[in-house]
C-alpha cells in the first residue's frame, strides 16, 4: 500500500491538515480495510471513542468509532453525511488531536447518518446521545472543523494555555 500503515500516527493541533476539507473515498479495496483497522488500533491506544482520517494526516472522508470499548462495537463510516438531526444538548468533548482539551459543545441530540461500508454499500443509521455526538464530532473533522470552533467563551479562556503549549510543541517539532 502506498502509505506505510505502521508509520501512521495521530497528528495534533495546530497541524494544518486538521483544517482541510477531505475528499470523498472512491476506492473500496483491501487498502481501505487495512487503513480502518489501523485507525481503530490508534483510536484504542489513545483511549478515544472516534478517529477521523485527517487526524492521521489522510484527507479522506472516513472515520471509525467505538463508543463502548467492546470490539463488537467497532464502527466504520465511509463518506458519511448527517442527513437529519433533532434536538440540542450540551456535553463535554475531548479530541485525540487536542490532548488536554475538554470543552462543552452543543450538538443535535439525535442524528441520522448516511454512509458507506468498506464494500461501498450505503447504509443509514439513527443515532442519539453519545453515538450521535461522536458522529457529529467526526463528521466535523472531515470538513476541517474542530471542537475549538464550537466552544463557548469561558472554555476559550480556560483552554488558552493548553492550546499555546500545543502550538509551541508543533513549532519545535517542525524546526
Ligand atoms: Zn476529534
**Catalytic one of 70, 93, 138, 174:** 138
Distance between Cα 105 and ligand 1 center (Å): 12
Distance between Cα 107 and ligand 1 center (Å): 14
Residues 67, 130: Cα–Cα separation, whole Å? 7
CA atoms within 13 A on the CB side of 142: 23
Distance between Cα 28 and ligand 1 center (Å): 24
Residues constituting the chain: 175
Distance between Cα 145 and ligand 1 center (Å): 9
Q: Grid coordinates standing for 29?
A: 479495496
Q: Look at the block and give the residue holding cell 479530541.
A: 95
- pLDDT at position 38 over 60: yes
Nearest 5°: phi and psi at 80?
-75, 150
Q: How confident is the model at residue 1 (pLDDT cuts 50, 70, 90)?
A: very low
* Annotated catalytic residue 92: no
* Among the listed residues 79, 153, 66, the one whose alpha carbon sits nearest the alpha carbon of residue 117: 79
Distance between Cα 146 and ligand 1 center (Å): 7
Displacement of CA 167 from its chain's centroid (Å) = 20
Mean pLDDT of 141-166: 97
Structural domain including 40 reads 5-174
pLDDT digits (tens, 9 = 90+) for 16-25: 999 999 999 9
- pLDDT at position 3 over 80: no
CATH number at residue 39: 3.90.45.10
14 prior amide bond cis, ω within 30: yes
Residues 65, 21: Cα–Cα separation, whole Å? 20
Beta pairing class for 62-65 and 75-86: antiparallel
Total domain count for the chain?
1
CA atoms within 13 A on the CB side of 75: 22
- DSSP code for 18: G
Q: How confident is the model at residue 27 (pLDDT cuts 50, 70, 90)?
A: very high
Amino acid at each position: 500500500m502506498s502509505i506505510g500503515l505502521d508509520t501512521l500516527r495521530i497528528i495534533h493541533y495546530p497541524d494544518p491538515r486538521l483544517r482541510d476539507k477531505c475528499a470523498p473515498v472512491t476506492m473500496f479495496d483491501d487498502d481501505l480495510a487495512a487503513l480502518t483497522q489501523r485507525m481503530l488500533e490508534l483510536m484504542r491506544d489513545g483511549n478515544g471513542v472516534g478517529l477521523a482520517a485527517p487526524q492521521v494526516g489522510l484527507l479522506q472522508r472516513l472515520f471509525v468509532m467505538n463508543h463502548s470499548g467492546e470490539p463488537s462495537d467497532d464502527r466504520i463510516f465511509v463518506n458519511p453525511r448527517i442527513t437529519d438531526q433533532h434536538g440540542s444538548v450540551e456535553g463535554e468533548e475531548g479530541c485525540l488531536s487536542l490532548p488536554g482539551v475538554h470543552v462543552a459543545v452543543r450538538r443535535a441530540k439525535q442524528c441520522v447518518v448516511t454512509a458507506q461500508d468498506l464494500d461501498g454499500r450505503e447504509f443509514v443509521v439513527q443515532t442519539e446521545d453519545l453515538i450521535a455526538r461522536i458522529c457529529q464530532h467526526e463528521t466535523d473533522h472531515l470538513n476541517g472543523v474542530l471542537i475549538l470552533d464550537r466552544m463557548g467563551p469561558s472554555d476559550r479562556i480556560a483552554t488558552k494555555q493548553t492550546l499555546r503549549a500545543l502550538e509551541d510543541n508543533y513549532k519545535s517539532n517542525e524546526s
